Amino acid sequence: MAKLKTTDVAKATVRLAMSSTRSEEERLVQLFKEKEIYGTAVDIGGNLIQSIPKIIERAIIASRKTNVIKESHVYDGAVAGAARDAIMQVAANANGLNAGGKIAIARHQEHLSVCIFLSIGLLHLDDVVIGLAHRSVPDFTQDQN
């Protein structure tokens, strides 16, 4: 398998975050796995600012459970940092409003990407925002195979 670039992993993460159904998400996870991109996504909703710790925690737990990352403070920190960066990119738009969407995490070798895709609502006036962040992590792909 040819080595993929950071942008390839980022694109996969965005597609996962934008998936609208669980079956579409699972199909994308399998499709990306064939390319050695390991990914997962978590549905999120509510007041974004108040939910930041819970969103980061869910991103870490989902990444561990699906073997996107190893259970290690290095990988946990990478997911937490990238998730926080992605959230901060959209936080100004969501301040005080309800938001719903997904946070997705994908990794290929040393490339780790986190994307948050949200619909922010106030009555019938919805806004759509996306945040994307990247971290470099030690590659443990050989351990996975």
Contact, 24 vs 129, CB < 8 A?
no
Domain range for 56 is 6-136
Q: What is the mean pLDDT of each run of 10 residues along the chain (145 residues)?
A: 87 97 96 96 93 96 96 96 97 88 96 96 83 94 61
Q: Closest Cα to residue 107, out of 19, 25, 8, 1?
A: 8
**Residue 11 included in any domain:** yes
The Cα–Cα gap between 71 and 13 comes to: 20
Per-residue model confidence (pLDDT) at position 126: 82
Which amino acid makes up residue 58?
R
Strand partners, 98: 47, 121
Residue 1 lies in a domain: no
Distance of CA 41 to the CA centre of its chain: 6
> Has residue 93 been placed in a domain?
yes
Containing 86, the helix (H) or strand (E) segment is: helix 73-94
- pTM value is 0.91
